Amino acid sequence: MERMALTRSALRLFSGRFTQACQVRGYADAPSMSLTFAAPSQVLYNNISVKQIDVPSFSGSFGILPAHVPTLAVLKPGVVTVFENDGSTKKFFVSSGTVTINEDSTVQLLAEEAVPVDTLDISAAKELLAQSQSQLASASSEVAKAEAEISIEVSEALVKACE
């Protein structure tokens, strides 16, 4: 973020005298990034140009800027932060899903469930965590254990998102 600010201020210093000679290409005029962020029953962003997206994935949380290297990732339960072009940020809690970054800087963020963070109820999240922990304690089969562990992971992330 500091690098972007420095480049931008450097540009402003030079732009008056060196506009013809020096076409400094900073992050400020990188190609824009088109985001489609959707869940099966709702559309959050449909091919909207945004500045940055922070996603929680199983290979680590990372931020996506325009001209990010193409990749695929699987989403972990957690908070997705979208930095829109007008400077506002929006946070959404996602349960799971995939993120695709293509060569042409289009990003498809497909979440199984996505809700704005301010609609989360921390007491309900804590209750869910307690429930899943007791489920794990009483789980008998491998499948039940795995399901309880997934439930714990999601509820822990929910509680963290509320704080």
Partner 1 sequence: SQQVRGMATLKMISIRLKSVKNIQKITQSMKMVSAAKYTKAERELKLARPYGIGAQEFYKKAEVKDEEGEKGQLIIAVSSDRGLCGAVHSSIGRIVKTDIAANPNTKVVTVGDKVRNILQRLYAKNIAMVVTEVGRKPAVFGDAALVAQSIINSGIEFSKGKILFNAFRTVVSFRTTEMPLYSQNAVANASKLPVYDSLDSDVIQSYTEFSLASLLFYSMKENATSEQSSRMTAMDNASKNAGEMIDKLTMTFNRTRQAVITRELIEIISGAAALETKN
Residue numbers at the binding site for partner 1 (CB under 8 A): 36, 38-43, 46-47, 58-59, 69-74, 96-98, 100, 102-104, 106, 108-110, 112
Least Cα distance to 26 among 64, 66, 83, 55 occurs for: 66
Question: Smallest gap, in angstroms, from Cβ of residue 43 to partner 1?
Answer: 5
Give the pairing of strands 106-111 and 33-39.
parallel
Q: Which is nearer to partner 1, 137 or 143 (CB)?
A: 143
For the beta carbon of residue 114, count every other beta carbon within 10 angstroms: 21
Partners of residue 84 on adjacent β-strands: 50
CB of 101 to partner 1, least distance (A): 8
User: C-beta of 104: minimal distance to partner 1 in Å?
Assistant: 7
Q: CA–CA distance from 56 to each of 59, 84, 91, 109 (Å)?
A: 8, 18, 12, 11
- Nearest CB to partner 1, comparing residues 39 and 79: 39
In the bound state with partner 1, the residue whose beta carbon lies nearer, of 57 and 133, is 57
Least spacing, CB of residue 72 vs partner 1, in Å: 5
Please report where in the chains the tokens 């992330």 appear, as a residue: 157
Which residues partner with 55 through β-bridges? Answer: 62
Q: Which is nearer to partner 1, 15 or 59 (CB)?
A: 59
